[in-house]
Structure 1
Amino acid sequence: MGKPLFSLTLLTSLTLASCSTILNNLPGVYTVDVQQGNMIDQSMIDQIRPNMNKRQVLYIMGSPMTTDAFHQNRWDYIYSNQPGGEARMQKKITLFFDNDRVVGFQGDFKPSALPVIKESPETTVDLPPREIEKTLWEKITGLFGIDSSTESDSVNSEPKSERGINNPDTPMN
């Protein structure tokens, strides 16, 4: 009775131990990509310059993954990616501050020696001038046959001599 029970226990423990290996290698089984931390790339590191204040670093890098209560002048950024159950890739960078200014950093990235040239994704488009539509008042008066814009334009378009202004031949009332 002891030998079959031992064999069954051994077989069960080996089967359970190999479940994760078997399930991970089955075709068609979907495994989730696991991303944790702050996404860090080289373009972000290239924008960091000495003497930047903490607010500028927050704008570029985001909030740090860990801040130490004992080291207020040290920010740690950690990014971990495990695509589809494969081996985990981890990147880390630590920024050091003195008087709220960047004095250095260390980690898996190196700053670029080239100047930062960040092209703007925004474009400028010149629009052609549009014809200004009539105002609401001009539309209403146009319905009744009173077109104030043509009357005022016709009065103003006449030469002053024809309207009787500064014309000696026109009698004054």
Structure 2
Amino acid sequence: MKALLSAAALAVCVSACTPALVEKLPYYRLSVVQGIPLDAASVLAVKEGMTRQQVEMEIGAPLLRPSFRADRWDYVYEVSRGGKVKENRTLTIHFGADGTVNRIEGDALDFARQQIQHNQQGNQ
């Protein structure tokens, strides 16, 4: 009987350490946030014709400023947990020869629109 209880206790202890169970523990792997959090209101406030300084005041300094492409700023935001990307947004702002915004693209625009729409529906 004692041997059976010892074997059962050992089986429970060993099975508790399986990777599948450990990954489900919320405190085992912390969220890793990389990049600049892209606030919905700030993203939508950037408009064509704004200067670099205005964009930087609205969103912040870009994560990537390629030296070979001075006409483009890239903002990247990523949240990963347990080595897996859970959230990923990008925003690319293109500047014209006069130094003003002439094009804005990236999935952060769609996300910002959805957030604003969701917030407006929640307030009604």
Tell me whether the two structures share a fold, i.e. TM-score over 0.5.
yes
TM-score range, shorter chain: 0.5 to 0.7
User: What TM-score do the two structures reach when normalised by structure 1?
Assistant: 0.47
Rounded to whole Å, the distance in 1 between the matches of 2:20 and 2:55 is 43
Report the secondary structure of 1:88's partner residue. strand
Poorly superposed stretches of 4+, deviation over 6 Å:
none
- Give the C-alpha shift of residue 30 in structure 1: 3.4
Report the secondary structure of 1:104's partner residue. strand
Which of the residues 87, 92, 95 maps onto 2:93? Answer: 95
Alpha carbons 2:63, 2:76 under 8 Å: kept: yes
Please tell me whether residue 49 in structure 1 is matched to residue 63 in structure 2: no
> How many residues are treated as equivalent by the alignment?
95
- Give the C-alpha shift of residue 34 in structure 1: 1.2
Q: What is the RMSD computed on CA atoms of the aligned residues?
A: 2.8
User: What TM-score do the two structures reach when normalised by structure 2?
Assistant: 0.64
Query: Normalized per residue, which structure has more strand?
Result: 2
- Give the C-alpha shift of residue 56 in structure 1: 0.5
Runs of 5+ unmatched residues, structure 2? 1-16, 114-124
Rounded to whole Å, the distance in 1 between the matches of 2:27 and 2:44 is 39
Alpha carbons 2:78, 2:85 under 8 Å: kept: no
Alpha carbons 1:79, 1:90 under 8 Å: kept: yes
Structure number with higher relative contact order (C-alpha < 8 Å, ≥ 6 residues apart): 2
Query: Normalized per residue, which structure has more helix?
Result: 2
Percent identity between the aligned chains?
Answer: 26
